[in-house]
Amino acid sequence: MIRALVVEAMAQGARQEAVCARIGVSERTLQRWQHSAQDGRHGPYSAPANKLSELERQLLVAAANSPEFRDVSPKQIVPSLADQGRYLGSESTFYRVLKAADLMAHRGRAKAPVPRPKPELFASGPLQVWTWDISYLRSSVRGEFFYLYMVVDIFSRRIVGWDVFKEESSVLAAGLIERASLAAGSPKGLKLHSDNGGPMKGCTMLAMLQSLGMSARCVFHACRSPIPQ
């Protein structure tokens, strides 16, 4: 494409030197492209002098799979070998060789982590999912704050309850949620979404939700709801 543009510009009277300077390509590069459109670059013809031999690779893999190091990562293997006066390779070399040998599986004694999908709340109407949080409000005294507790219905975006207190407390939050639920007619199957803050996971809060028949999700994820027309 660049060669075609250069030819077009030169056909209109532009100089090759000026065109190459304009597009940021040297004239020598343009001449090479005119002779061959293939990429002529290649890697080194000889192996680097510090490349591990096949025997060294086998020793490294054997050390990583030995009873002493089979449960630890290369970050722990290399210093342990150094304490014994042995050096088989750097941490990056261990990782590279183990990856090439398909040995980068879970190496610790603990159970391997199991991916679990994050739970998601969905509301198709009002009074199905509420979300609440606590926001800081500056006071006239520097360093002191008021705390705004607010509960929002995620479908209608309506504020169903709010209050301002001088502290963060699961007891105060439980009272606010209870008043909001009673004002809404104690809807059945209502779910409450929040983050992992202390007041959100307090025993008083969880006991109150259980008494109201509400389920809570204290996780960091977004609630989904259609945008009401």
Query: Which domains does the chain show, CATH number per domain?
Result: 2-35 (no CATH), 54-100 (no CATH), 129-218 (3.30.420.10)
Contact of 64 with 70, CB cutoff 8 Å: yes
* Alpha-carbon distances, residue 5 vs 12, 17, 31, 113, 183 (angstroms): 11, 14, 14, 54, 72
Please state, in angstroms and rounded to a whole number, the distance separating the CA atoms of residues 172 and 186: 19
Length, in residues, of the chain? 229
Write down the pLDDT at residue 215.
60
What is the SS3 assignment for 135? strand
pLDDT at 159 over 90: yes
Write down the pLDDT at residue 40.
66
Write down the pLDDT at residue 217.
53
* Alpha-carbon distances, residue 227 vs 57, 123, 130, 192 (angstroms): 59, 10, 15, 19
Provide the pLDDT confidence category of residue 227 given band limits of 50, 70 and 90. very low
Q: Mean pLDDT over all residues of the chain? A: 84
Q: What is the pTM of this model?
A: 0.47
Percent of the chain whose pLDDT exceeds 90:
39
Beta-sheet strand order (sheet of 129-138): 159-165, 145-153, 129-138, 191-194, 215-218
Q: What is the pLDDT of residues 60-71, one digit of tens each?
A: 999 999 999 988
